[in-house]
């Protein structure tokens, strides 16, 4: 399974596409797509939005949890810097 993520242009926040076809900052609210459907949704989203940068697909398991080799990177993206925990985003993930 896959989810779609990117960065909001106005503030740089990590966002995820949700089931209502809107952007959310909470991974737990992101839409999950079957691998065979994810690329089509991804292409459609890329063509219609100009408020999000750096789109890409991320792996999730059947339970909707981050999976694959990018777990650490996505965790850091969503909660902020690792060197100063006090600088992280509140309410992430």
> pLDDT digit string (tens) for 6-49?
888 888 888 999 999 999 999 889 999 998 888 888 888 877 77
Question: Running DSSP on this structure, what letter comes out for residue 15?
Answer: E
Read off the pTM: 0.73
CB 4 within 8 A of CB 57: yes
SS3 of residue 57 by DSSP: strand
Q: Please choose, from the candidates 17, 3, 1, the residue with its C-alpha nearest in 3D space to the C-alpha of residue 74.
A: 3
Question: Which of the four pLDDT bands, split at 50, 70 and 90, describes residue 82?
Answer: low
């Amino acid at each position: 399974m896959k989810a779609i993520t990117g960065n909001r242009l106005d503030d740089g926040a990590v966002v995820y596409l949700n089931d209502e076809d809107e952007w959310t900052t909470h991974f737990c609210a992101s839409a999950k797509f079957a691998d065979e459907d994810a690329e089509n949704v991804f292409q459609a989203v890329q063509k219609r939005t100009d408020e999000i940068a750096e789109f890409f697909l991320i792996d999730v398991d059947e339970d909707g949890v981050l999976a694959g080799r990018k777990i650490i990177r996505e965790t850091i993206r969503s909660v902020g810097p690792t060197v100063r925990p006090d600088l992280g985003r509140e309410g992430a993930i």
